[in-house]
Amino acid sequence: MFIISTYPVAVIFCIITMICWGSWANTQKIAGKNWRFELFYWDYVIGVVLFSLLSAFTLGSYGHGGRSFLADLKQADSDNIIKAIIGGVIFNAANILLSAAISIAGMAVAFPVGIGIALILGVIINYMTAPQGNLQYIIIGIVLIMAAIIVNAIAYQKSQKNEKKLSFKGLLISVLAGLLMSLFYRFIASSMDLSNFEQPAAFKMTPYTAVFVFSLGIFVSNFFFNSILIYKPFEGAPTSYAAWFKGKLSLHLTGILGGVIWGIGNSFNLIAAGKAGPAISYGLGQGATMVAALWGVFIWKEFKQKGESTGGLITAMFVLFIGGLGMLIYSGV
């Protein structure tokens, strides 16, 4: 299987993760013009599963290091499989809430708040269980990113004066999504042998196998979580599975593309975790917040009525995020 051998390459993979995790929601925005997010989300989940299979039978099955996908899946024990599945279930609950927040409050709010919280708590949780990297620089990075989240919230409040009720609901859902999102990575990481991808311990999984099992947890749990939202949505009238089957092919493909984009980021992040460590790898990947905010501000124009003060706050947010991510990168050098 393909294995990363150096820290700089691991950082590049984490940056790709950041771009993917911060960009997949654009497909939701595109499809959302004619397609309920509850229906979009099924296509998204299918895309996640499809890419996990593609990755497993290509990068995860060729090469001299590690175990090939099928051999690895066969030897994995039930405890580690269950951990990866639980990670998928937790992630799915969090991501559905995040998707709902995007639908209500927009990318420029849902990502900085939801993923920002997930980044801070997730880095702490993953470092406590697998301490790798300079803790001092990790803490500085977290503080800078937390400051960026606060600045983002202030900027959004200033730019959405006539949508306070809507913004509050979106913010609340974003917070709940972030709290859950901070937990999923630890489960999937603990199902792998992060210390040795070349010769992984018996019963543990390689990242390619773990990603596949994780995606199955997402897929199976979606029958429960998303079914609830289809019939009792956060906003708007209930929809149905019949509406999903009536959707245009272009709408389905847009959702699948979103899942593939996220899946690329997820796979690359876990592949990088062997060299960067789970805390740094997860933290850098969740820099997706900055990427999503860029999309929300400059492409989707979600910060309306942008005056000089709001523009300055947005600039400060990006500077703080970049500084925080830089500290996380430096902590692993």
Reported as a single tens digit per residue, the pLDDT across 18-47 is 999 989 989 988 998 789 889 999 999 999
Helix axis angle, 278-285 to 7-23, nearest 10°: 40
pLDDT value for 164: 47
Task: Report the amino acid identity of residue 255.
Answer: G
What tokens does 23 get?
């960009």
In the chain, helix, strand, coil percent, each to 5? 75, 0, 20
* Backbone dihedral region for residue 126 (phi beyond 0: left; psi -120 to 50: alpha; all else: beta): alpha
- Angstrom distance (rounded) from CA 170 to CA 251: 24
| Residue count of the chain | 333
- Angstrom distance (rounded) from CA 284 to CA 316: 19
- Angstrom distance (rounded) from CA 328 to CA 332: 7
The phi and psi torsions of 205 (rounded to 5 degrees) equal -110, 155
- Angstrom distance (rounded) from CA 223 to CA 231: 12
Helix (H/G/I), strand (E/B), else coil: 194: coil
- Angstrom distance (rounded) from CA 179 to CA 201: 31
Confidence of residue 292 (pLDDT cuts 50, 70, 90): confident
CA atoms within 13 A on the CB side of 312: 3
Q: If you average pLDDT over each of 9-23, 106-120, 291-305, which comes out highest?
A: 9-23
pTM over 0.95: no
Average pLDDT over residues 123-138: 90
User: Which residues make beta-bridge pairs with 192?
Assistant: 205
DSSP line for 309-324: HHHHHHHHHHHHHHHH
- Angstrom distance (rounded) from CA 275 to CA 261: 23
- Angstrom distance (rounded) from CA 212 to CA 207: 9
Over residues 49-105, the pLDDT tens digits come to: 999 999 999 999 988 788 999 999 999 999 999 999 999 999 999 988 987 887 787
Which positions ≥6 away from 311 have C-beta within 8 Å? none
Higher pLDDT, 8 or 104: 8
Instruction: Say which DSSP state 201 is in.
Output: P
Average pLDDT over residues 10-22: 93
What tokens does 1 get?
């299987």
Give the position of tokens 């995040």: 98
From the number of C-beta atoms within 10 Å of its C-beta (0-12, 13-18, 19+), residue 160 rates as buried
Q: Is 110 within 8 Å of 239 (Cβ atoms)?
A: no
Of 87-101, 167-181, 247-261, 296-310, the range with the lowest mean pLDDT is 296-310
Of 99-113, 244-258, 297-311, the range with the lowest mean pLDDT is 297-311
